[in-house]
Amino acid sequence: MLKSYKTLGHYAAEEYVVKKSRFIGYAKPVKTEQEALDFINEISKKHWDATHNVYAYSLREGGIKRFSDDGEPQGTAGMPVLNILIQEEVTDCVVVVTRYFGGILLGGGGLVRAYSHSAKIGVDAAEIITIVPWFLCSVCCDYTFYGKIETLIRDMGGVVDDTQFAENVVVKFRIEQGQENAFDKKLLDLTNGKVKFDIIEELLAAK
């Protein structure tokens, strides 16, 4: 059974300066551990001259959660970044926080706050989205019902993916799981029982 989850909508980066230390929070949605590691390597190469490239990532598959302090005092960097992902309840994503040291020591508490804040602004910039389980469906109808059925799909929070116009109209659409019975009843009422829809497959997609 497919389950909903939260992740990031897109790649983003935000910058933050505290006591002359420059922090850049990078955030990106990923599907696999290899994708996460590739992104970490990409940022580390881009900022090869940075003092630290701290990271954390969380993946649904295997419930994997990893982090690295990358030379910062233990517990002051990687874990605070991972904690942001846990607090925001996002998964299938990676965050890298790059630091350029500005010459003023921040102390343990200062580092925790700086890395937490940098991760948070990166995650916020990448925009948290909810991925929900849908049914991909198909309905075939004549032209007299087409407009009403398309309106019904949208009114029930569904998404029309494709429409083919021939002798009849074939509409492929998504409807959120849990709505299928209510949709079926309204479709039968709307068409006086003349039109039914078929469920093709389950899928996960943004709401």
Residue 56: per-residue pLDDT: 98
- CB-based contacts of 135, cutoff 8 Å, min separation 6: 174, 175, 176, 177, 180, 199, 200, 201, 202, 203
- CB-based contacts of 110, cutoff 8 Å, min separation 6: 18, 19
**Amino acid identity for residue 17 in this structure:** V
Q: What are the structure tokens assigned to 147, written together?
A: 């407009």
The alpha-helical segments, DSSP class H, found in the chain are 33-46, 78-87, 107-126, 143-155, 180-190
How far is residue 193 CA from its own chain's centroid? 39
Q: What's the average pLDDT block by block, 10 residues per block, for the chain (207 residues)?
A: 90 94 96 96 96 97 95 94 97 97 83 96 97 95 92 94 93 94 93 92 89
Q: Which of 100, 124, 122 is nearest to 13 (CA)?
A: 122
Fold classification of 131-206 (topology level): Alpha-Beta Plaits (3.30.70)
Residue 2: per-residue pLDDT: 78
Q: What is the Cα–Cα distance from 35 to 199, expressed in whole angstroms? A: 32
Residue 34: per-residue pLDDT: 96
For domain 5-126, the CATH superfamily is: Impact, N-terminal domain (3.30.230.30)
Residue 145: per-residue pLDDT: 93
Residue 38: per-residue pLDDT: 97
Residue 107: per-residue pLDDT: 80
Q: Which of 55, 60, 107 is nearest to 80 (CA)?
A: 55
pLDDT tens per residue, range 30-55: 999 999 999 999 999 999 999 999 99
Q: Which of 85, 84, 104, 114 is nearest to 15 (CA)?
A: 114
Domain locations along the chain: 5-126, 131-206
Residue 132: per-residue pLDDT: 93
Give, as one character, the DSSP assignment of residue 90: B
Strand order in the sheet with 52-58: 12-18, 21-29, 93-100, 52-58, 65-68
